[in-house]
Amino acid sequence: MNAILVIEDEVIIQLFMEQTLLRAGYTVDCCDSPREVLQVPDFNRYQAIFCDIGLGDREMDGIDLFMRIRETCARPFIFVTGSSDLGTARRLNGVHHPYRLLRKPVVEADILQALGELGLV
Amino acid sequence: MAKSLEVPSVFQRAEVLGIVESLACAGVVAALLLLSLQLVALWAGLRNQAAGAAMVRVEDVPGFIFPARVALLALVALSFVPVMLALRWANRRALRCGRDLESVQLALRESHHRIQNNLQSVIAMLELQAVAAPGVEERTALRVAQSRLRAAGVLHEHLCQSVESGQVVIVRHIRAVIDAALVALGRAADTRVVVKLPQSLALAPDRAFWLGAIINELVTNSAKHAVHGDDRLAIGVWIGRDARGLMLKYGDNGGRPGATSPSPKRLGYQGNGRKLMGAFVKQLRGCMGNNFNNPSQHSVRIVFPN
């Protein structure tokens, strides 16, 4: 089990994350919308889930998606956001689930560091 | 320094004004009610007494207090009216101001979000190009460009957070820039960082931006050229008051003991690094001390107005 799920709606950024993780030795699956994520049969086959918060979906952002699937997913989430809004961090307060919050823009080293902090490298 | 203006405080002010306005309204209503009661009593008394007496004095009317008091009540009621109108006007203005401020902050947050996303897209494109680049030098150049963009993102984040106060707290700002640069260059774990500057030191956002850009260049140069292999990097940043304003001193452990000539790749000798530093220092309206000539020690000194 060396797989990571990347949830990102912007193709270039998704490609960048995929390439970075592939180079680090992971296999990568990508989703670009919450709807697609909800069709994933088993989240626990991934070591971690990278999830953009602003997914371009009016009804569900990355945190809503996380709240919806965390019952069936024991794997850590790494949220990526371009927003510095404190509300984002507040919504994650009190959530008893391993997660990290990365602020965009991120480079390869940030991604690897987040995985390292979760003990996954 | 720009005055802090926060949406909640504006709305709180509007709430207080609303309460005072309500009290003023209640005052007007009470005074008018009392006035009406007095007039009703006067009218009823005059009517009753008119049947039995030829001459009626208003003071003798039952339930009627005194004509002077009636006038006073009327005056009080009238004096409340302009106060009430002024309060209503101030309240509406405060509410409108709060709404405007709220929409400006929303727009700022949105534009900040877009800027960070766009920087991320550019970094992604540079990385995809770096992977395909044929030579080590090209790849390195593309990754240094990514690290500069990331530093710009960190600087932008700090500047956005300081919009409300109008000043950037430098100690936090510099720490964030150094950390971001070291993470981007893969030196976060093996670098010792010492930052010494007054906790209270704050600068306007535009000046803080250029100071951050200078620190990013210096840290990038140290991480790339100061030490080699497994040697541990150590960097120190010091800012203090100077007769001409502020002085930034930066140093690393990249000196070469016993060397007779400085390393050509250290900042300040040649290339783009020198040009960039010169431009950043110029933006800060400062001057850079020329103390690169000691090959066994690398330090930079920049003086800039406060």
Per-residue pLDDT of A78-115, as tens digits, reads 999 988 777 777 888 878 888 999 999 999 999 999 99
Per-10-residue mean pLDDT, chain B, length 306: 54 74 78 77 73 60 63 76 83 87 85 91 94 90 89 84 76 89 83 91 88 90 78 89 89 65 55 79 84 63 89
- ipTM for the whole complex: 0.89
**Sign of the C-alpha dihedral computed for residues B215, B221, B226 and B229 taken in this order:** positive
Q: For the whole model, what pTM was predicted?
A: 0.69
Name all contacts of B94-102 with Cβ < 8 Å and 24+ positions apart.
B94/B10, B94/B11, B94/B13, B94/B14, B94/B17, B95/B11, B95/B14, B97/B10, B98/B7, B98/B10, B98/B11, B98/B14, B101/B5, B101/B6, B101/B7, B101/B10, B102/B7
Count of CB atoms situated within 10 Å of the CB of A37: 21
Largest Cα–Cα separation, chain A:
35
* pLDDT given at position B1: 39
The letter for the amino acid at B138 is E
3-state secondary structure of A43: helix
**Contact assignment for B188 to A113 by CB distance below 8 Å:** yes
DSSP lists the bridge partners of residue B252 as B235, B298
Angle between helices B170-184 and B136-161 (to 10 degrees): 160
Residue B160 touches partner A, C-beta closer than 8 Å: yes
Dump pLDDT digits (tens) for A9-28. Answer: 999 999 999 999 999 999 99
**Contact assignment for B157 to A103 by CB distance below 8 Å:** yes
Nearest CA-CA distance, residue B22 and chain A, Å: 34
Residue B128 touches partner A, C-beta closer than 8 Å: yes
Beta strands in B65-125 (DSSP E): none
Question: Which member of B109, B120, B186 has the closest CB to residue A105?
Answer: B120
Residue A110 touches partner B, C-beta closer than 8 Å: yes
Concatenate the DSSP letters of all residues of B167-182 into one string: -EEHHHHHHHHHHHHH
